Structure 1
Amino acid sequence: MPPSQRRRRPVEDDGESDEDARPRQRPHIEASETEQEEEPSDEDAEMNGATSRVDEQLAKKLIRYVIACEYSRTPIRRDGIKERVLGKQSRSFRRIFELAQTQLRAVWGMELRELPVREKMTLHEKRQAMKSNTQSRSGSGAYVLSSALPEEYRSASILRPSKTPNAEQEATYMGFYTLLVSLIWLNGGEISEQKLQRSLMRLNADRMLASERTEVVLKRLERQGYVIKKVDRPPVGYEGDQTITWHVGPRAKEEIGLDGVMGLVREVYGHPEDAAFDKKLRSSLGLKSRQLGDGEGEDGNDVSMTNGA
C-alpha cells in the first residue's frame, strides 16, 4: 500500500504538545567542567613566595617602628603605621599586624595592645556625642607596646627601668606618673587642680621634679596619654572662673591599671596581707567585692568597677 494511503492512527489528546513528546536531550557538558582543577604552576608558587617575603619585611619594619615609638612614648597610631610602614600596602594592615604580633611575642616577649577609647567627660562633650549621628568606633586606633612575659618574669629585679636617657631619670619619671595616676584614681577618677597642687606640695614636687620643672613634666604626661587635663570655662555671657580637673589617661589605664595602683598603695602603707586594709583600698578605688561563685580571687572574692573610673 502506498504510504499516502496508509491510515494514520488517531492521536489522543492527553495534554502533551509535540515538544513535550519529544525526548529531552541531555545538556551538553563542556569538557572544561569535567576536568580536574589544574595544579598551581611554578609561576604561582613564585608569586606566593614573593608575597610572603614582602610580608616578612613589612612585619620587621613595623616592629622597628613600634619599638622606636615606645622608647619615646609616642602614641602608636593605626594611621601612622599605614603611612610610615605599609605605604601602598595599607590594605594589608590586618595581615601584617598579626604577623608582627607573632614575632613580637615569640622573639621580644612583647605585644601590641589597643588603648581604650577616650571617654566623654564634660557635659558639653556628652551632648555633642548625643547630637552627632556618627557611629561609635569599636577601637581607639592607638596602641601601646606591653610585656607578654609570664607573671614570674615581671619582677622589678628583672624588668629594670630603661637606660634612655638613663636608669635613674627613667625610674624617677615612672615613679612620679605612677603616683600621680594613683592619686587621681583614689579620688574617684578625677582630681581638681587645687587638690593636685596640695598633694604635690606635700611631696616637695610642686615646682621641680629632679632637674625638670613640674609644669613641663605634667605637659609631657598629658601628651603621652598618662593623664588628661580638662578645662571647663563658663559659657559666653556668664561670669565665673574656669575649672581644671585631671583624669586618668588611656595609656595609664593599659600600662598601670588598677592592679598597679593597688600594688603601689600596699607598698607605701605596708599592709599587703591586711584584709581590713584591702577592703578600704577597694572602697577608695570604687571597687566592690563579689562572692566566689561570681568570680575568683585569692581571698575568695573578685572585684569589679562601680564608679566607671
Structure 2
Amino acid sequence: MLSTSARLLRLASLLQSRRHWPGAALAEALGVESRTLRRDIDRLRELGYPVEASSGVGGGYAMGRGAALPPLLLDDEEAVALAIALRAAGATVGGMEATALQLVGKLDQLMPARLQRRASALHAVTLSLRTGEPLVDAGRLSALAAACRDGRALHFHYRKHAGDTDARHVQPQRLANYGRRWYLVAWDVDRADWRTFRIDRIEGALEPGEAFPPRPLPADVAARLERGIAYAPFACRVTLRLAGSAEELQAALPLWCGVVEPLTDTHSLLHMGAETPEGLLAQVLMIDREVEWVGGNVPAASFARVLGRLSSLFSGVREEVTA
C-alpha cells in the first residue's frame, strides 16, 4: 500500500482528472477501504483542496472551486506538454510573455531532470525566425471568450479589409484560431446575419451590451469561416474546376489556397481570392494540378498582362540556354 503522503498526492491527481468520482471507484483506484478514503478526503480539505461530497445512488466526490487555487498535479506527459506550450505562447498571443516565462521557471524548478531535458529539447534546438509582433492580445481574447460564454452582446469599432472603420453591434458566439490569426464568429445584430471578425482589426474598447438568449450556430460555420478567410475579403476572385473529391482536395490543399466546394463525385470547385492578379496567378501555379476556368471577376486582359511580363522575364533565360 502507498504511504499516506503518496496516497494523498495520488488522490488529488485522480480528483483533478475527472469531474466526478463514485466513492467505490475512487477507493478501488487507490486500493483502500472506504473508511480510509474518507479520512484522506478530510486531510485534503485541511490542505486547502475544496473536495465536495454527495450521497445517494449517484454519490461520490468531486473537486470543487475554492477561494484559492490549490496545487495542480500533473503527470509526466502533461508537464512536458505544458512547458512546450508555454514557451510557444508568446509568439502568437501578446501580453502574456512575462507570465509564461514565470510559469516555465516554476515548472523547471519542480520537474525532475529527465523531464526538464524533454521539455527544453524543442526550445533548445529551434530557431525562432522573424514573424512580426503577436497579432492579438491575451486580455482581448479573454474578454471576447467571456462574452461568448456569458451570452453578452458587444459594441466595438471594426476596421474592414479595405481600411475603413465602422461600428458593430454583435452577439459573440465562438473564437477560432488559424495560425497567428484569431477570429470572432458572431451574429451581427444590425445586419441580421452571421459575420466573422479578425480580432486584430477590432479597434478601441469592447463595450458590453445586453444579455442575449442562446443562438444555435449554423451547421456550415466552419465553411463560412474558411470562405471569410481565404476568399470573400479579396478584390480578385476566381472559381476553378479540379479533378478530385472535396474530401481529397481539402486534405491536399492548404486553407489559404481557397474554398473547396463539391461538384460531382470526381470533381470539385475551388474558389480562390487574392489582392492582385499577380497574387492570384501565383496561387494557381502553386496548386500544381490541372485546372479548368469556371469564372471570376478579373478581366482576362489583367492576366494577359501578367503573363506577358513573365514571358519577357524568361525570354532571356531561353537565350542563355540556346547560347
- Same structural fold, with TM-score higher than 0.5 when normalized by the shorter chain: no
TM-score tier, shorter chain, comes to: under 0.3
Q: Which has the higher contact order (CA 8 A, sep 6+)?
A: 1
Query: Which structure has the larger Rg over C-alpha atoms?
Result: 1
Which one has the bigger strand percentage?
2
